[in-house]
Chains A and B, each alone.
Chain A
Amino acid sequence: MALKLAQSEFEIERDSQKCISCQVCVRQCSNDVHEYDSDEDIIYSDNDKCVGCHRCENLCPTGAIKIKEKEAEFKKNYNWTSSHLRNIYKQADSGGIILTGMGCDKPYPVYWDHILFNAAQVTNPSIDPLREPMEIKTFIGRKPDKLNMEISKDKNGNTKIKLKTKIPPQLELSTPIMFSAMSYGSISFNACMSLAAAASKFGTFYNTGEGGLHEDLYGFVNNTIVQVASGRFGVDKNYLNKAAAVEIKIGQGAKPGIGGHLPGEKVTRDVSRTRMIPKGTDALSPAPHHDIYSIEDLSQLIYALKEATDYKKPVGVKISAVHNVAPIASGIVRAGADFITIDGFRGGTGAAPLVIRDNVGIPIELALASVDRRLREEGIRHKVSIIVAGSIRSSSDVIKAIALGADAAYIGTAALVAMGCHLCQKCYTGKCNWGIATQDPYLTKRLNPEIGTRRLLNLLHSWSLEKKEMLGGAGINAIESLKGSREHLRGIDLSEKELAILGIKHAGEAW
C-alpha cells in the first residue's frame, strides 16, 4: 500500500442497529464511499472517499448514517492548519494545482453581517405590506438624463403627454433578484431548465453563463440573459437573439483574472452541440478575451453586440471585484454598457484553482460601495444599472445591497442550494450526488426540473416577502426609494475606514 499522508476530512458513523442494509447509500454515492458485502450482509464505508455532500445521510430511510467532520486529525496548530497540511500532501502527491468548487469559505469578514437596517418609528409610520402595496419592481438598463415630452390638452381639457425621448431597452424584474450565470456543462440540463422556468414564472431572469443556450430553453427567450465570454462557446446571431439581454463576461468573482476549463468528460453530445465544440474535447476559456486588450476594445465588442441585436437589448459587462474596480466600472459605463455586474470574491464557481479562489479579489460589499460612489462622483451613476453578485445569501443581503447602491442582485449559490446543493465544493469532479453539477445521466435525473422550479419559485417568493416586510418596516413602499439610501444602514463592529468605504454611519449614530 502506498504511503498515505493526507487523512480523510469526514467520518461516517453508521448505527448498525438502525441500518437495514437496504443499500440506498451505496447506490446514491457517486464517490463509491459505501460498499455492500453480501456475504456478511453489512455495508462498509470508506471515510477517505467521502466529500461531505450528505446525500446518503439525507436519503437513508432509517436515519442510520451521520456524516461528521473529523476532528483533531492533525496535531492542533493555528499556523499550520489541517487544510494547509492536506493541500501540501496532495500537491506533493500530484504536482498539480489544487482545484475546488463553489465560493471562498475562508473566514474573511462578511460585511453584510456587520450592517444593520433601519425601521421607522413615530415620526414616520411603518407600512404594513399585508395591507398596503409594496413595490419591488425593478428595471435594468441605461437611463437617459431626462424625458422630453409634448404636453397638450384634448378637447375635454385632459392633459395628453407624448414622449419624445426614446427609452433605451430595459429588463423588467418583478423582484430585484436574478439567477447568476451558470453554464450548461458546469450544471446539468435539469438545473438549467429549473432556473429558466422559475425565472420565467416569477418574472425575472436567469443567465446562461458561457456554455451556450440549449435548444430546449429557447422558449424562455424573454427571461434569458446570454453570456458572451472569452471562449465564445455557442455564440452566434441566433444565440444573441434568443435572449432579452447580453452580458459580456470579463471576470468571475471566484477566479478573477483567469479563464475556465470544462473537462472533456463533461462535454457530452448535448453539451458539445450547445457549446459548438467537438464532443469530448476540453472547453477552455482563455483568461482574457483575445479581442479585448483595453477598454476601447471592450467598447467595440459592446457595440458589435448592440449592432447584432439591433439596439433592442441591454448589453452589460460582468467583472470581478478587484482592487481597482471603481475606475474600471467607470470606464465600462463610458464604453457604452447598459449594466455592470460586479462579482465579489466570495462568488461561486464550478471549478477554480483554490489559491485563486481564496486569495484574489475583494468583498462585494466594499466593491459595490466604492463603484457606486465613484460613478456618482462622476455624474454617470444613473446611466447604468449595477447588479451585484458573489454570495448573496438572504433577502437581507439583497436589501442591504440595494441600500448601498445596487439595482439588483444575482444569486447563484443560493439558487443551487434551493435545488439541493450542500456546498461540498466538489463541482469540478462532475460527480454531484444532488444531480446539479454533473452531466452523468444516472445523477442528473435526481433533479426533477419541476421540483427544482418549484423550489426556486418558493425561494424567490419568500425572499420577496421578506424584502417587503423590511421595506414596509422602514416606511418605504417602493424599492427605488431605497436605492443608494445609505442613511438606512448602520455598521456594527467596523473600523472608521471600513465605515468610510461603505459610506455608512456606525450603529448608535442618528441622522
Chain B
Amino acid sequence: MNNYKHMETTKNLKESKQHCFSRHRIPSGCAVFGIVNESGKTFNGSMVLDGISMMHERSNGLGGGFAAYGIYPQFKEDWAFHIFYDGSISKSQTEDVLKENFKIIFYEEIPTKNKSFVKDPPNMYRYFLKLKNNFVDSGANKKKIDTDSRIDKDIIKEKEEDFIVDLVMKVNSNIKGAYIISSGKNMGIFKGIGYPEDIGQFYKIDDYSAYLWTSHGRFPTNSVGWWGGAHPFGLLNWSVVHNGEISSYGANKRFVDGFGYECTLSTDTEVVTYLFDLLVRKQKIDLSIIHLILASPLWEEIKKMPEDKREILKAFRIIYSGALMNGPFSIIAANSDFMYALNDRIKLRPMVAAKKGNFLFVSSEEAAIRKVCSSPDILWHPRGGEPVIGVVNKQNIKNK
C-alpha cells in the first residue's frame, strides 16, 4: 500500500511538472489572507489559519499554502530551502547541486502531521545552507572590496542573490521531480493540494512563530493540481499569493524576459514575483511608488495631476508599460521587510485591510479579519491601485 502510494506521488509530481512546462496557464479564483506585526513581534500560525479557514468557500481543495517570516531564528543567516521531491533520484541529484555550491548546515524532512489530511504529498525536505563562494573576489569590478562599506556589501548581497535565483531556476527546470518551493532566509513556504486549513494542519503551522504570515486558498478551473503549483510562490525572500487572472500575462512575461527572468511555470504568481524582484530588488525602485508602475493610474487621472507629477507618471507608463498588470487581481507580496498588498486599478477583485495596534491585516473578505480580530482600530477597502504596505521594524527583530 505504501509502495503504491509512493508510486502515485511520483507520477503526480512528474506529470504535473511536465504539464506546467508545456506552458499551460490555469486561471483560478482564490482567497488571500495576510497578517504582519509591524513591530516584528512573532506570533504562531493559528491566527492566520483561523482567518483563511473562514474563506473556505473561496477555495475548492486544489491548493492551499502559507508563507511565514521569522520562523528560523537559529538559522537566520543561512539560506533556507524547502524542496519537494518525487523520489530518491531527484533528491540525490538536487543534493549534489546543493553540496557543490553550499555548506549544508542542517537538513531534515519537513515535519508533518497525519497524512490523512492530504492526498499524495511529495517527499519534502528543508535545508539550511551557507554559500561556499562568498563573492568578495568577483565583486565590484575586481577593485579591492571593502567588506565594511555599505555599497560593496550591497553589491556582494546582490551577486549572492542573483546566484541563488539562477540556481533555483536551474534546479526547477532541469532536475525532473525536484522543486524548490522556497529559497529565502529565516522564512519558509508551506503549501500543497488541499484546503488551506488542511494544509495548515498538515504542516503543523501553529508550531511556527513568525512576524509575517500570508496564506492562500485556491480555486483553480482545472482538476489537475500539483503540490508545487499551489501558492504562495516563492523566490529568495519573496512570496506572492494572488487572487485573480492577469490578462497582461503575455506582456508582463515579455517584460521580465527582457531582464533574464524565464517564466517556466506559466503562472501569474510567478510573473508577479519576478516583477517585484526586478523592480524592488534589482532596480531598487522605492516600495512606496511601485504601485504607480504595477497598477498605474489611468490616463484620465494622470491628466488632472500637477505638471511635475504628471510627467513622472507619464515616464512610468512609457518606460514600464510592460510591467503594468491588467485584469482582475488582488495580490499580497511579502519579503522579510514588508507585506505589500495591491488591487488591480479598477478593483475587479475584493480586498479588505485592517489595523489593530501593530498588526496589519489584509484579506479577500472582511469576515476573515473579523474572525481573528473582532474589533480592529480601522478597517478599510483599499481603492483599486492603492497599495497597503506593512513595513516590519527590523530593529526590533535584531534586538530580540
Contact between chains at A135 and B248 (CB < 8 Å): no
Interface string of A123-162 (1 = CB under 8 A from B): 1110100001101010101011111010100000001010
Count, chain A residues at interface, CB 8 A: 45
B27 within 8 A of A: yes
* Selected interface stretch from A85-93, A102-110, A473-481: A473-481
Contact between chains at A151 and B289 (CB < 8 Å): yes
Contact between chains at A381 and B326 (CB < 8 Å): no
Instruction: Count A-B pairs with CB separation below 8 Å.
Output: 129
Interface string of B226-258 (1 = CB under 8 A from A): 000000000000000000110111111011011
B319 within 8 A of A: yes
Question: Hey, which chain B residues are within 8 Å of A135, CB to CB?
Answer: 298-299
Question: Hey, which chain A residues are within 8 Å of B288, CB to CB?
Answer: 151, 159
Interface string of B318-330 (1 = CB under 8 A from A): 1111101111100
Considering the chains assembled together, what is the distance between the CA atoms of A146 and B316 in angstroms? 9
Question: Hey, which chain B residues are within 8 Å of A486, CB to CB?
Answer: 250
Considering the chains assembled together, what is the distance between the CA atoms of A90 and B27 in angstroms? 61
Closest beta carbon of chain B to A378's beta carbon, Å:
10
Contact between chains at B283 and A481 (CB < 8 Å): no
A194 within 8 A of B: no
Contact between chains at A476 and B299 (CB < 8 Å): no
Within B318-373, the residues touching A (CB, 8 Å) are: 318-322, 324-328, 345-346, 348
Contact between chains at B245 and A144 (CB < 8 Å): no
Q: Which of B247, B254, B311 contacts A376 (CB 8 A)?
A: B254
Interface string of A174-196 (1 = CB under 8 A from B): 00000000000000000000000
* Nearest CB in chain A to that of B288: its residue: A159
Specify the main secondary structure of chain A where it touches its partner.
loop
Q: Which of A376, A474, A487 contacts B258 (CB 8 A)?
A: A376
Interface string of B293-308 (1 = CB under 8 A from A): 0001011100000000
A2 within 8 A of B: no
Question: Hey, which chain B residues are within 8 Å of A120, CB to CB?
Answer: 247, 327
Q: Which of B312, B318, B326 contacts A143 (CB 8 A)?
A: B318
A510 within 8 A of B: yes
Question: Hey, which chain A residues are within 8 Å of B132, CB to CB?
Answer: none
B376 within 8 A of A: no
Contact between chains at A477 and B258 (CB < 8 Å): no
Contact between chains at B249 and A485 (CB < 8 Å): yes
Contact between chains at B346 and A477 (CB < 8 Å): yes
Within A110-127, the residues touching B (CB, 8 Å) are: 120, 123-125, 127
Interface string of A483-510 (1 = CB under 8 A from B): 1111110000000000000000000001
Considering the chains assembled together, what is the distance between the CA atoms of A511 and B24 in angstroms? 4
Check A480/B251 contact, CB under 8 A, given A159-B286, A487-B25, A511-B25.
Answer: yes
Check A161/B318 contact, CB under 8 A, given A124-B245, A481-B247.
Answer: no
A482 within 8 A of B: yes
B317 within 8 A of A: yes
Question: Hey, which chain A residues are within 8 Å of B394, CB to CB?
Answer: none
Considering the chains assembled together, what is the distance between the CA atoms of A132 and B28 in angstroms? 24
A382 within 8 A of B: yes
Contact between chains at B258 and A379 (CB < 8 Å): yes
Question: Hey, which chain B residues are within 8 Å of A170, CB to CB?
Answer: 318
Most buried by B among A159, A170, A403, A511: A511
Contact between chains at B312 and A161 (CB < 8 Å): yes
Contact between chains at A487 and B249 (CB < 8 Å): yes
Can you list 28 A-B pairs with a CB-CB distance of less than 8 A?
A123-B27, A123-B221, A124-B27, A125-B348, A133-B299, A143-B318, A146-B319, A147-B316, A147-B319, A151-B288, A151-B289, A159-B286, A376-B257, A379-B258, A475-B328, A477-B326, A477-B345, A481-B252, A481-B324, A481-B325, A483-B251, A483-B254, A483-B321, A483-B322, A484-B250, A485-B251, A487-B25, A511-B23
7 cross-chain pairs, A with B, having the tightest CB-CB distances, nearest first = A485-B250, A481-B248, A511-B25, A480-B321, A123-B27, A481-B326, A124-B245
Contact residues of B with A, CB < 8 Å? Answer: 23-29, 221, 244-245, 247-252, 254-255, 257-260, 266, 283, 285-286, 288-289, 296, 298-300, 311-312, 315-322, 324-328, 345-346, 348
